[in-house]
Chains A and B, each alone.
Chain A
Amino acid sequence: MSDTQIGWMGVTASLALVAIAIGLSLWQQLHLTRSMLWSVARAAVQLLLVGFALRLVLDSKASVWWAWLWVVVMVVFSGFTIRSRAKEIPGIFLLGTISMLTVVVVSLSVIFGFHIFPMQGRTIVPLAGMMIGNSMTSCVLVGRRIVGELSDKRDEVEARLALGLSWQDASRPNVRAALRTALVPQIETTKAVGLVFLPGAMTGLVLAGVDAVDAVTIQLALMYLVLGSVATSVTVIGLGLTRQVFTPDHRLKPIARSSH
């Protein structure tokens, strides 16, 4: 076993911290023990399945098309995940899926077009996963914010429409506020990186024995790509959703307020 492989013993040892968490839950009567045990078991099963499947897809002899198929599945599942997190938003599955597809197309075009990473199964899957994973949360956030803004400030939007403004102009201040809210966390994360926390990819590379500066350059490229992906997905879903809540003759449809 190399020093970058922790083996089953290492995984088992890391459960010691879960035991501490469970102990605290019991002590403080948080009633989270069952939930913690379930999440630990579920994560293990899910990741092991993914690991075995990835081993097949990322095999150097496997066709790169298996990796692309994996990406398609990820995009569709991200659409379902977004819908499950924001059921109250009309048409969110289609918008979320289109948004994630846009993110994958744009980000991977940049990555492979500029030869930032070589186009191989072992780069396609994790990079697409990283871009989608980071964008999904922002998509849910911007969707909820837009629905909230246009529902809470319906009077204001209709007052602008009543002056003869188009739906785009009438909703612009509210949509802008929602987009800002969704983007600020990612911008703050990008600002704080290195000072407050070491990001996952870099930590993983350092643990795997890669030179720290080399790990930093990879991490920087990834962070910039993630920032661009989040901005792209938020804009796609923001504009798509706004178009959906107005009629072609510039009327605001009834909107059910999000409970979140």
Chain B
Amino acid sequence: MLATMGTAANRDDEGVLLQFDTVSFSAPGGTELLHRVDLCVDRGAVTVLAGPSGAGKSTLLRLGNRLEVPSGGLVRFKGTDLTALDPQQVRRSVGMIFQRPIPFPGTVRSNLAVADASAPDSTFFDVLCRVGLDPSMLERVADDLSGGEAQRMCIARTLLTEPEVILMDEPTSSLDPENRIGIEDLARDLAQEGIGVVWVSHDLSQVQRIADRIEVLVEGRNATPTESLTYLEQRTEGDR
């Protein structure tokens, strides 16, 4: 797959669902974790966010899901500043998948019901099929699922909120290669359906498999083109 690299500058706004515009963020202690970061998330594309540990990738996703609020700059959803929107509605429109699957206590059904308590079983069946899980799993205890199954269930749970963007924070880091490929295929399928996907990854071969666009963060800021190429080349050599 041929992915493009670049920041928000000089981009056509049509099709941009989520936009980070010179976003800065400081931790409660005052340490600046993000400095004037730009990123555009397009409809129907997988945007991969790469960069070394501590570069601020997860923090950026948390800002997109409104679990944090930037200390500078703006995060916009379809052109509107997130702080001007209902945070609960923002979170349903911009879903978040965490690094480790987080099943809630109870069955798969009760997990799905957290996202949509009024949905009929047929909706649950459909969403389980959509993420590649057997609908008969509905009564299984969520804690008993394998890592891959649990992560798929978490994606199904998020899909029930009908998001237009899904932010995935290294969603395959704790999975075996087979499940890793399965989740990657699922992310590509979601993008095909028109959802904007942001995928955080350290794994360059994975980046090459799934990315429509790559953005590299270094030390809490957008990497320069030279820094991006250097980082990606280093990762390539590391993978060999």
Contacts and interface: CB of A to CB of B under 8 A. Distances in A.
Given A163-B115, A164-B91, A250-B88, A158 B158 contact: no
A37 to B, nearest CB: 46
A252 B83 CA distance: 16
Given A162-B65, A164-B89, A164-B91, 19 more contacts: A155-B98, A155-B102, A158-B67, A159-B104, A160-B104, A161-B91, A162-B98, A162-B158, A163-B92, A163-B95, A163-B158, A164-B92, A164-B161, A165-B88, A173-B104, A249-B69, A249-B83, A250-B88, A252-B67
A31 interface: no
A156 interface: yes
A156 B100 CA distance: 11
Interface in A145-198: 155-156, 158-166, 173
A164 B92 CA distance: 5
Contacts, number: 54
Contacts of B28: 254
A251 interface: yes
Contacts of B67: 158, 161-162, 251-252
Contact of B88 (A164, A173, A252, A254): A164
B157 interface: yes
B171 to A, nearest CB: 13
Interface string B161-175: 100000000000000
B68 interface: yes
A104 B219 CA distance: 55
Nearest to B91: A164
A91 B62 CA distance: 27
Contacts of A155: 98, 100, 102
B87 A250 contact: yes
A165 B69 CA distance: 17
Contacts of B83: 249
6 contacts: A156-B102, A162-B95, A162-B96, A164-B91, A165-B88, A249-B87
A163 B90 CA distance: 9
B105 A173 contact: yes
A160 B96 CA distance: 10
Residue picked from B65, B69, B87, B161, most chain A C-beta under 10 Å: B87
A252 B67 CA distance: 8
In the A-B complex, the 10 residue pairs with the smallest Cβ-Cβ separation, listed nearest first, are: A164-B92, A162-B96, A159-B102, A164-B91, A164-B88, A249-B87, A163-B115, A250-B87, A155-B102, A162-B65
